[in-house]
Structures are given as structure tokens and as C-alpha cells.
Amino acid sequence: MLFKTTQQHEALREKVRKFAEEEVKPIAFLLDKENDFPKEAVEKLGKMGLLGIPYSKEYGGMGLDMISYAIAVEELARIDGGTGVILSAHTSLGSWPIFAFGTEAQKQKYLTPLCRGEKLAAFGLTETNAGSDASGTETTAVDKGSYYLLNGSKIFITNAPKADTYVVFAVTTPDIGTHGISAFIVEKGWKGFEFGDHYDKMGIRSSSTAELIFNNVKVPKENLLGKEGQGFKIAMATLDGGRIGIAAQALGIAQGAFDLAVDYAKERVQFGKPIAFQQALSFKVADMATKLRAARFLVYSAAELKENQEPYGMESAMAKQYASDIALEVTNDAMQIFGGTGYLKGMEVERMYRDAKITTIYEGTNEIQRVVIASHILGRPPK
Ligand code: CAA
């Protein structure tokens, strides 16, 4: 672990920060208020190459490393948590399994337009009866010769219905548990593939989230991702990487709230001096900064391990769990520093406080992160 970013990393940070400040910040309040997706901003991210950061140029990506990707998510989330997760769900959850398990033909057909920013990706794992226990998948894909017949539904799917390409998990062999689950690439627009209503969420309201409904959808055989029965492992491996994205999102939200709170504390005068210099608040700022620094090390070091193809499942779970826990604490402290002003609608810190909460819940609740971390240390519990 270098514990230091490179000039190239910091140049990318500047570029994404400028984009987020200029293109996302002015609309973030309205996106949140109206539950609206930042369509133009996402198109611009695509044109800048940012929808394919860690993938090779051969597939239309930028060919940069995982730390660069984490920095981009962090910088978007520093302004708007919803925009941060659009990038994270697209890159880590929707695109990565195609990159890692796809055939050359699948990569050419699906990964390349995703990296070029021509299309958006999503990941369909969660179901009503399969949340933390992803092995409870009930959606089925029945082999019909030249195609699979897909039936069932997926809930809480980030980027739906905006995404074009979905990696979907379904049972191909019933009654054999996780070994009976397979992964498929499913396109929006296929007959029988529909969406439920856009969820009305507490936070990250600029990211779209909807249900996927499959009613006798014919999935061509060539859209099986990996081998039959490999789906659960593909999902777990994808989530290992996805958690770096959510950790970066949490870090960005916390950093955004911290930056606002520090500026405010230096300006706001009470008892004859800026409140920043009241010890109660200066100590709070010191604690917030320490938590941010620790979270940043966890996030970048997990990204670095993944980049170097070293084991990183435990470290990405630690990064996700810690960064999201401190995101709640730091946004709460930022709100406290703002006092009654921060509690008002239209204040960025109020939106960030709401945006932070989901990072402790999705891509595995923080209780599940602890299950993952403990299983790396102690082994899997006896069944
Ligand atoms: N990589 C590869 N394989 C893995 C793996 C990993 N990280 N973790 C487990 N596996 C394999 C195991 O080796 C095992 O294989 P064998 O049967 O061949 O030995 C198999 O998978 C089953 O493993 P477990 O028995 O450990 O699995 P489990 O049923 O006990 O579940 C769990 C483990 C960690 C709790 C898992 O269910 C889990 O991660 N749950 C959380 C699901 C989750 O994160 N959902 C988020 C949805 S996406 C989302 O939220 C996106 C968004 O909106 C942005």
C-alpha cells in the first residue's frame, strides 16, 4: 500500500471535481426535490470516458486503475451521493461481471458500449425473499433449447429503468442451493421485460431505483454469463468489488458534508468569534477529519489490492462498513455544526445527511459486511 495517490490520480480528481461542481452542484437540489435522474450529466460523464474508468482501452475504457475509479465516485458523491452511485452501480455491478466472466463476443457486444458511455448498466440480484440471503433467489430461467425462459422479479435495482444492460441472476437448477443459480445478460426492451414504479426514496433521490419484472422473457443461450450454476459466485465476486464503489460513495458524501461544515464554522460568529474556534466544535472537526482520513486509507487500499489482483474481499467489506458508518457520523456532526440552518430543506448538508444512510444498507448491510469480514478471519460457520 502506497498510502499516497499519484499526480495522475490527483489530476483525475481535479477533473471530476470541476465537473461535479459545474454540472451537478447547480442541479443537485432540484434532482433531490423532484426525484429526477441527471440524464445530461450522465451523458457527459460518458463522453468524458468516465463510465469506463478501470477497463482497458481495447473495450473503450480509460485503462486507469481502481483508485482512479474510487476517486471519481468519491468526487461525484462529494457533491451528490445519487450521481456517485449511478457511476458505481454502472461500473462495478453492471459492467464488471461482463468484463470478468464474459466471452469475447459478450465483451465486444455489451462491455464496449458501456465503457464508451453509450449505454448504462445495472445489476439484478435482490428479490423480495432474497435480500441479505442472496441464496434465496426465486427468479427462474428454464432451458428451452436455444433460449432460457426468464420469470420473476428483482427489487431495489439501482439505475433501473435508465440502464440498457442488466446482469440478472436466476435459478436454472432448483433445489441445489447456490450451485443452481446462473447469471444472464438481459437487454432493456426485450419482450416481457418491464419495470415497476420508480421508488420514492429518503436519499440518493437523483439515482433511479426500480423493480425489474420478467414475464416469459426469452434470453438467448449466448447471453448466459459464465457457466450454468456459476451465478452465485459471480454475484459474490461482483459485490466484493462493488463494495469499494459504495465505500467511495460514502467517503465522498462525508467529505462533502465536512467541507461545507468547516467553511460554515469559520464564517459563523457566536460569542464574539467564529464557532470553528469554540473548542466543542474544533474537537468535532478534528474527529471528523480523522475518520475521513482512516476511511480514505481503507477505500484506496482495498482498491489497490483489487488492482494488483491480490485478495481484497475482506478489505472491501471493511472499507464499505467503516466508510458508511463514519459517513453517518460525519454528516450528523456537519448538521450539528450548521445548527438549525442545516435542518432546512435546500441546505446541502440536509440532503447529504439523508444520502449517507443508504450506504450502511445497500450492497450488503453493514451487518452482512461483518459476516463477510468474520468469515475471512474465522472461516465459514458450520452449517
Ligand atoms: N467470491 C466468490 N465466491 C464466493 C464468495 C466470494 N466473495 N463468497 C462466497 N462464495 C462462494 C462460496 O465459496 C461458496 O461456494 P461453494 O458452495 O462452492 O463452497 C458459495 O459461494 C456459497 O457461499 P456461502 O455459503 O458463504 O454463502 P451464504 O449463502 O452463506 O451467503 C453472504 C454469504 C455473504 C451472506 C451473501 O449472501 C451476501 O453477500 N449477502 C448480501 C447480498 C448483498 O450484498 N446484496 C446486495 C445487492 S446489490 C445492491 O445492493 C446494489 C445497489 O443497490 C447499489
**ipTM of this complex:** 0.97
Confidence band of 1 (pLDDT split at 50, 70, 90): low
What separation in Å is there between the alpha carbon of 74 and the centre of ligand 1?
25
End-to-end CA distance of the chain: 36
* DSSP letter for each residue of 124-137: E--BTTBSS-GGG-
- Bridge-based pairing of strands 121-124 and 165-171 is parallel
**For this structure, is 350 an active site residue?**
no
pLDDT of 149: 98
**What average pLDDT does range 159-188 have in this prediction?**
98
Which set of grid coordinates corresponds to residue 249?
Answer: 460513495
Residue-wise pLDDT for 286-320, tens only, equals 999 999 999 999 999 999 999 999 999 999 999 99
Please report, for residues 121, 144, 152, 192, the alpha-carbon distance to residue 216 in angstroms, rounded to integers and kept in the order given: 22, 11, 9, 6
Calculate ∠ Cα 170-174-180, nearest 5°. 60
Confidence band of 358 (pLDDT split at 50, 70, 90): very high
Residue-wise pLDDT for 29-43, tens only, equals 999 999 999 999 999
Write out the E strands in the chain: 121-124, 140-143, 147-158, 165-171, 181-187, 193-195, 209-220, 224-225, 269-270, 273-274
Closest ligand 1 atom, residue 372 Cα: 34
Query: Which residue shows C-alpha cell 450492497?
Result: 363
Pocket of ligand 1 (CB under 6 A): 85, 89, 93, 123, 125-126, 132-135, 156, 158, 178, 232-233, 236-237, 239-240, 313, 362-364, 368, 371-372, 380
d(CA 282, CA 266): 10
Residue-wise pLDDT for 228-271, tens only, equals 999 999 999 999 999 999 999 999 999 999 999 999 999 999 99
Cβ proximity of 253 and 356 under 8 Å: yes
Confidence band of 346 (pLDDT split at 50, 70, 90): very high
Q: What is the mean pLDDT of the chain?
A: 97
Confidence band of 55 (pLDDT split at 50, 70, 90): very high
Residues near 95 by Cβ (< 8 Å), separated by ≥ 6? 52, 55, 111, 114, 115, 121
pLDDT of 3: 73
Residue-wise pLDDT for 90-106, tens only, equals 999 999 999 999 999 99
Ligand 1 pocket: which of 233, 240, 318 to mutate (most atoms within 8 A of CB): 233
What separation in Å is there between the alpha carbon of 364 and the centre of ligand 1?
9
pTM above 0.95, yes or no: yes
Cβ density class 11-45: b for 16+ within 10 Å, e for less: ebbeebbebbeebbeebbeebbeebebbeebbeeb
